[in-house]
Structure 1
Amino acid sequence: MAKIDKRFQILFSEEEIQLLKKESDRRGISQAELLRLALRNEVTKKSDLTKWKALKALAEVLD
């Protein structure tokens, strides 16, 4: 576990690590799983936005 914390410290400040631990404990999932879910949600949002923009552009062409 110390190895994981060391990698997290490269990415996050000590305060962010504590918030991550607190939120993962509250949700009953691991810190890694919480980060994975957050990343997946961010990627999905961007993909949906890209799809929406493509549909909007297509609708403008068809009008």
Structure 2
Amino acid sequence: MAKIDKRFQILFSEEEILLLKNEADKRGISQGELLRLALRNEVTHKSDFLKIKAIRSLTEVLD
């Protein structure tokens, strides 16, 4: 398993990692970059209240 997969193994199931890898390969970017873009899109397309709520949720997940 690649180094990046090991970092995400805690967060995703094997099936989700495979889907992430396939989608990243289709787009010609890394798995980490695909996740970063998805997160950025999710946070920037929300209202300020929802942005704050999403950031708080993320900090809880990361702690």
TM-score interval w.r.t. the shorter chain? Answer: 0.5 to 0.7
Q: Gaps spanning 5+ residues in structure 1: where? A: 52-63
Q: Gaps spanning 5+ residues in structure 2: where? A: 50-63
Which protein has the larger Cα radius of gyration, Structure 1 or Structure 2?
1
TM-score where L is the length of structure 1: 0.67
Give runs of ≥4 in structure 1 deviating > 3 Å: none
Counterpart of 1:50 (choices 44, 48, 51) is: 48
Matched residues, number: 49
| SS of corresponding position for 2:15 | helix
RMSD (CA atoms): 1.8
Query: Which one has the bigger helix percentage?
Result: 1
1:6 to partner: Cα distance: 1.4
The percent of aligned pairs where both chains have the same amino acid is: 82
Q: Relative contact order (alpha carbons < 8 A, sep ≥ 6): 1 or 2 greater?
A: 2
Partner residue of 2:13?
13
TM-score where L is the length of structure 2: 0.67
